Amino acid sequence: MGSPDVVAAVSTRLVRIPLHRPWGPDVPRLHVIVVEVTAEDGTVGTGFSWTPTIGAGAVRALLDEECTRFVVGGPSDPAVVWDRLWRHLHEAGGGGVTTIAMAGIDLALWDLRCRRLGAGLVDVLGRRRESVEVYGSGVNLHYPLEELVAQAARWVEAGHDAVKMKVGRPDLAEDVERVAAVREVIGPGRRLMIDANQRWDLPTARRAVAALSRFDLYWVEEPLLADATWAYAQLRVAVDVPIALGENAHTIHRFRDLLDAGACDVVQPNVVRVGGVTPFLRIASLARTYGVAVAPHLLPELSGQLALCLPEPTLVEDVEDASFAALGCLAEPSGVTMADGRLTVDGSRPGLGLTFA
């Protein structure tokens, strides 16, 4: 029998998953590239890469052509593989498609490692708490006001103490009306976050945050282009609402630049976009040295597991009807449960607990 510490094979398959609630006319589905890494002893680990819009074909091609050739025959330690693979792929770009593809390998190797230990990811990393708060979220800028209000009411009914909505309508008065309506539905005791998805420039962001801050905002997310570091630093000193960003930052180097610039109060690494568990943990540790909070972006079945292992309590995002379980793309339960505004992991499944149908 071969060694459990050597990668023997890598395989991929692309799964297109229709969204029950499309994120807009251009986002009717999600794309998941399921990645299986097999060790020489026959042990298999399963990971995934993910993209909601473009790039799934490019990610899979990079996995099949470059990542596979590089990792087969090498070690199965995720941290060792990650650094070597990133240097190998760096010529194709330090982040973006590169790190999204790398996430498939990294997650599969973590799954492999945990299965070999007979434990779930949370207990291998070190469980620090039994549950983490989940906030209700929605990709809802295109919703009519009545539909947005109905969604907010569902979040309240589901037991969420924090909710997030999209802003950035062409007329600021529309944003004011919509935020006011959601605040009225959720009441004064719940936290309300807004997400502009990079729609504003600096002057517009100043005006918008000034107009919306009276609704007691917990944070404003991605008010500016994600790469506009200088502008973020200027905005942060000009407004009283905390700034969150990071879902479109792909490397620890980019997070370091944002933190050095004092650009934000909350960082939001997406575990797939940054390249997997290995870099996510490094980014979380870096943010902690700056005293900046970490709130994982999307993918609650995996982000929630990581959140249970972070030193400080945080919030996990659950976009309505968009978790893997809600989309029906898992062949069996993951062990992750979200109920009454809290996420728990029962620890009964080894590895990441994600088996895609």
Query: What domains, with CATH codes, occur in the chain?
Result: 7-117 (3.30.390.10), 123-345 (3.20.20.120)
Q: What pLDDT was estimated at residue 2?
A: 74
- Print burial letters for 120-138: b (CB count within 10 Å at least 16), e (below 16): bbbbbbeeeeebbbbbbbb
Q: What pLDDT was estimated at residue 352?
A: 97
Active site residue 164: no
Average pLDDT over residues 24-43: 95
For 109-134, write each residue's pLDDT tens digit. Answer: 999 999 999 999 999 999 999 999 99
Average pLDDT over residues 228-248: 97
Distance CA 344, CA 335 (A): 8
Give the tokens for residue 37.
């890494």
Q: Is the pLDDT of residue 11 over 70?
A: yes
DSSP assignment of 36-61 equals EEEETTS-EEEEEEEESSS-HHHHHH
Residue with tokens 């004092």: 262
Distance CA 222, CA 317 (A): 15
Weakest mean pLDDT among 26-30, 159-163, 214-218: 26-30
Give the tokens for residue 173.
């008065």
SS3 219: strand
CA atoms within 13 A on the CB side of 96: 12
Average pLDDT over residues 162-183: 98
SS3 263: coil
Please give the mean pLDDT across all residues of the chain. 96
Average pLDDT over residues 126-146: 97
**At residue 285, what is the residue type?**
S
Q: Is the pLDDT of residue 82 over 70?
A: yes
Average pLDDT over residues 277-282: 98
Average pLDDT over residues 284-313: 98
Q: What pLDDT was estimated at residue 3?
A: 75
Q: Is the pLDDT of residue 1 over 70?
A: no
Find the helix or strand (DSSP H, E) in which 39 lies. strand 29-39
Q: What pLDDT was estimated at residue 348?
A: 81
Out of 160, 164, 166, 250, the active site residue is: 166
